[in-house]
Amino acid sequence: MTGTGDTAGPGGEEVCDVAARRPVERTEMRARGGIVALRSDRVLMTDGDSAERDVIEHPGAVAVVALDDTGEDWRVLLIRQYRHPAGRLLWEIPAGLRDVDDEEPQATAVRELAEEAALRAADWRSLVDFFPSPGVSEERIRIYLARGLTEIPPEERDFTPRHEEADMPVRWLELDAAVSRVLAGEIHNANAVAGVLAVAAARARGLDTLRPADAAEE
């Protein structure tokens, strides 16, 4: 454990998420799309009863907080993207699916930062890991912190934006202003909310306390 303070739960257990899987009595595939699939599991619960649980199968994703900490006021990079299910234009951080076979998560993050922001980073850290909708989805996200940023020259860019990414403005926003917009309910994207607040917390603790980029996913 690397945290501080009281880490014991009410029963004396450590307050740390652990892998666990209840027995599944039966599974039925409901639908399959281009990215996700929907299945229904009949799960045996700890009280001896069983319950139907819908599960969205998802490959997982990565996201990147690109941080310019070279000046007195730290800045984070945000992109605006149309999200059809939400019916909104959302300010987000660069992100992408882990849908390339055998590609390491950090490599996916490096690629997404290059494609969506035309940036490279000299320093990579693991910032935060989370399940955005664990009640219905397997999706797991790792957010990286990228520093030491340099722009990729136009002649070296090999990504052609399409669909939502064809109209995706990029803005630099001071970190404190980004935190204020999150707390004011003006930034809604889960990756951006988690990433911005995590960087603000890491600044207070010291960025060197962050896990390495290749830290294991617990």
CA-CA-CA-CA torsion sign (112, 156, 174, 89): negative
**Considering the entire predicted model, what is its pTM?**
0.90
Q: Taking residues 143-160, what's their average pLDDT?
A: 91
Would 44 be classed as within a structural domain?
yes
| Same domain as 119, residue 74 | yes
Give a yes or no: residue 3 inside a domain: no
Asked which of 111-115, 164-168, 214-218 is least confident by mean pLDDT, the reply is: 164-168
Interval 82-103: pLDDT, tens: 999 999 999 999 999 999 999 9
- Indicate whether 69 pLDDT > 60: yes
Residue 202 lies in a domain: yes
Residue 156: exposure state from Cβ atoms within 10 A (0-12, 13-18, ≥19): exposed
By the 10 Å C-beta count (0-12 exposed, 13-18 middle, 19+ buried), 178 is classed as buried
Tens of pLDDT, residue by residue over 171-182, are 999 999 999 999
pLDDT band at 57 (very low <50, low <70, confident <90, very high): very high
Is 127 contained in some domain?
A: yes
Mean confidence (pLDDT) of the chain: 92
Distance CA(38)–CA(137), nearest Å, equals 9
pLDDT of residue 12: 67
Among residues 123, 102, 125, 121, which one has the least CA distance to residue 111? Answer: 121
Asked if residue 184 and residue 78 are part of one domain, the reply reads yes
Can you read off the two tokens belonging to residue 159? 């990504």
Number of structural domains (the chain) is: 2
* CATH number, domain with residue 72: 3.90.79.10
Per-residue pLDDT tens over the stretch 16-40? 999 999 999 999 999 999 899 999 9
Please report the pLDDT score of residue 144 as a whole number.
98
Q: Which of 7, 42, 57 is the last residue in one of the domains? A: 57
> Are 101 and 113 found together in one domain?
yes
Pairing outcome for strands 61-68 and 141-151: parallel
CA angle at residue 107 from 106 to 108, to 5 degrees? 90
Catalytic residue numbers read: 165
Same-domain status, 33 and 128: no
Confidence of residue 157 (pLDDT cuts 50, 70, 90): confident
Give me the percent of the chain exceeding a pLDDT of 90.
Answer: 83
Give me the mean pLDDT over the 63-87 stretch: 96
Please report the pLDDT score of residue 107 as a whole number.
97
Domain, as residue range, for 93:
61-210
Helix (H, G, I), strand (E, B) or coil at 33: coil
Task: Let me know if residue 48 belongs to a domain.
Answer: yes
Rounded Cα distance, 184 and 181, in Å: 5
Considering the domain architecture, whether residues 160 and 85 belong to the same structural domain is answered as: yes
Residue 19 placed within a domain:
no
Contact 170, 119 (CB under 8 A): no
What pLDDT is stored for residue 175 in this prediction? 98
pLDDT band, very low/low/confident/very high, at 1 (cuts 50, 70, 90):
very low
Specify whether 42 is located in the same domain as 69: no
List of residues 6+ apart from 70 with CB closer than 8 A: none
Same domain, 79 and 155: yes
Statement to judge: residues 36 and 107 lie in one domain: no
Angle subtended at Cα 122 by Cα 156 and Cα 207, rounded to the nearest 5 degrees: 145
The whole-angstrom separation of Cα 186 and Cα 180 is 9
The reply to whether 139 falls in a domain is yes
Is the pLDDT at 121 greater than 50, yes or no?
Answer: yes
The answer to whether residue 2 is domain-embedded is no
Look at residue 14 in the predicted model and tell me its pLDDT. 87
